[in-house]
Amino acid sequence: MDRQEALRTFTTGENFHLQHYLGAHQDEVDGQSGYTFRVWAPNAQSVYLIGDFTDWYEHQIPMVRNEGGVWEVFTELPQEGDIYKYNIKRSSGQEILKIDPLAVYFEKRPGTGAVVRTLPEKKWKDGLWLARRKRWGFFSRPVNIYEVHAGSWKKNEDGTPYSFAQLKDDLIPYLVKMNYTHVEFMPLMAHPLGLSWGYQLMGYFALEHTYGTPEEFRDFVEECHINNIGVIVDWVPGHFTINDDALAYYDGTPTFEYQDHDRAHNYGWGALNFDLGKNEVQSFLISSIKFWIDFYHLDGIRVDAVSNMLYLDYDSGPWQPNIDGGNRNYEGYYFLQRLNTVIKLAHPDVMMIAEESTSDTKITGMTEMGGLGFDYKWNMGWMNDILRFYEEDPIYRKYDFNLVTFSFMYAFSENFLLPFSHDEVVHGKKSLMHKMWGDRYNQFAGLRNLYTYQMCHPGKKLLFMGSEWGQFLEWKCEESLEWRDLADDMNAKMQHFTSQLNQLYKEHRVLWENDLNWDGLEIIDADNIDQSVLSFIRKNDKGDMLVCVFNMVPVERKDFTIGVPVAAIYEEIWNTELEEWGGVWKEYNQTVQSQEGLWKDYPQTLTFTLPALGASIWKIKRRVKSANGSKKSKKE
């Protein structure tokens, strides 16, 4: 694309490779090698390029404005690694140093200067992974995500976070050991304050300096793919940091943010909202996410805070209704549809995931059918209900059993992902382990039961780091995880349990092959409130099935009976109370042959001992003839 066309499409919202136009680029003019710098500041009075190569203010270089509001200059002075900024004279006459919004690398904190850096080409070695991803997609594949904050998974002795070179050596083998299918990182884009966890961004094309170099992250992704692990990254297109040297009121007027003061300001988060209806902002944001997918070979993007982009009244500040008198942000709604359309056209096999907490808008599904085009939506309702239930004293659980079963009423209204994320283990909410009822033994039992329920429930899965071994303390982003916990036998057994549960999930197709409709789920009994036992079947159209039974109270149920659709010898393949996991059972239940007898609508019954506060999963070991001589029931 030539420069005129790049400028034209930028101003019409159709330039989705903006990093090739704006920013700093090696160039040659009149036989002289140097760099061309371009920055969008349409209402600035003047813009000067300053940096190491100008002795900063001493020899600052004036830039020239074109008809699209882009300032440009070519200079032979910069060298790779030099730091630079733009000195912008705003419409008010005030001069201020600003970052380069299209920079691919920034200096180390607390500095915010961009670094002159030409990213090298990479000869990727993940072709087999990408071919499989293209062939298989993800809807009918296992998706079990380990959510990570790159700055606090592990730290060096001096308190600095691991770089991605170190994470490649330590985190990837851990993911393999723990049998996860994907790793998801909280935002990796440049942000000025680590305490924001990356959700207050300044550099939408730059890897955060704290985590190493772009080359190191590319090598990390490649190694993940070689080890059959997908990589997902969080992205924040709704709002950005209010810091004055970043994107905020870039040229002295609303540039990236809304013109209206209240719409521009996110009062609850202390941030500024992007003007999602502005063409140049759409080019900027869609180019950002396409760059991350293309350059880093990402397998998925989790779009943060979708509700904030969809609803005018989502924030705590004042708001005005839309032209129809409602609360929908039409600019945000159509931007998200366009975003997903563009990404899916280029990368149909890349997961687009929405972190969204309402039920007023169809989030997943085709835009042509009224959806926003996302592949998955975080099931926040399920997460809130189920954690509230497991925190409750078991003596009261029969009165709130609907918290466990209500999700089945809407399980297929969207394509859901079931999250136990970082948001649930901070700010006084307590860790997942600490949420569980009872003494330490029962807390571990409850956690094993909870994770098994998550794994058997329709929907893809996500678990935040540290939760896999039951870390008791809340997550602290400025500290490493409590790895010393694993010296405790119960924590070590919990970690082993999670690893084996993840393996169970991967091995049994019925747990992931059909998460999108009732063809993959059959409820046996959701009404056993008095005993607080839930039972259901995960199945496929080939006749495979798993019978999943959950005892939500610390009372062992001997001779417990449920109905089953198939006359067979059943084998218990999972029992959360085994000693191996930290329980008290020395071995699984013995195999059991189903018996003829009507139980609800089922022609067969299955009787076994159900562990206290435990989960039990059964599969068919061998089918047998029923009394009428058939191996298949009418229900099957």
Q: Among all residues, which ones are annotated catalytic?
A: 304, 355
Distance of CA 398 to the CA centre of its chain: 33
Cα 278 to Cα 80, 260, 525: the distances in Å are: 33, 13, 52
Q: What angle do CA 583, 588, 589 make, to 5 degrees?
A: 120
Q: What's the CA gap between 562 and 595, in Å, rounded? A: 11
C-alpha distances (whole Å) from 400 to each of 59, 447, 453 are 71, 19, 17
CA distance 576 to 452: 8
Distances (CA, A) of 450 to 312, 386, 444, 519, 618: 36, 8, 10, 24, 17
**CB-CB contact of 248 with 266 (8 Å):** no
CA distance 425 to 432: 7
How far, in Å, are 73, 189, 299, 379 from residue 356 at the CA level?
42, 21, 20, 8
Helix (H) or strand (E) holding 498: helix 489-507
- DSSP E strands in 31-140: the ranges are 32-40, 46-51, 61-62, 64-65, 70-75, 83-89, 95-98, 114-115
Interatomic CA distance for residues 210 and 228, integer angstroms: 26
Residue 620's SS3 state is strand
Which residues, at least 6 apart from 609, have a Cβ–Cβ distance to it below 8 Å? 556, 557, 558, 559, 560, 589
For residues 106 and 113, the answer to whether their CB atoms sit within 8 Å is yes
Identify whether the C-beta of residue 185 lies closer than 8 Å to the C-beta of residue 234. yes
What does the alpha-carbon distance between residue 408 and residue 382 come to, in Å, rounded to a whole number?
Answer: 9
The residue among 258, 280, 268 whose CA lies nearest residue 318 is 268
CA distance 335 to 313: 18
E strand or H helix at 293, and its extent?
A: helix 279-296
Residue 585 has what DSSP assignment?
Answer: B
